[in-house]
Structure 1
């Protein structure tokens, strides 16, 4: 699926975000709330990915 509208050629890898957006808007939630929900989902996925692959560099104080 193409996700660009100009010279850059970008493609969406996951349509799940679109489905979530459409479903939540159909439920009558405002766009601002839907964006917050999607951000929470993305943050959770990122956190789990980072937990599975810990950094090898020590943390600096």
Structure 2
């Protein structure tokens, strides 16, 4: 993910080269774009119980 003046350019791995997935305004939108492009047979990246979105983004409260 490359930070730009107007937003974030999000790249995914292509067969032979990096593929531009899109440009988004926030890091959260960048994550959502990457997740939307994961293969359907993609397994879990983290093997522990889900702690909720607030803990993922480092928020408390």
Q: Is the shorter-chain TM-score for this pair beyond 0.5, marking a shared fold?
A: no
Task: Compare the two structures and name the one with the higher strand fraction.
Answer: 2
Whichever of the two has the greater Rg, that structure is 1
More contact order relative to length (CA 8 Å, sep ≥ 6)? 2
Superposition TM-score, scaled by structure 1 size: 0.28
Superposition TM-score, scaled by structure 2 size: 0.28
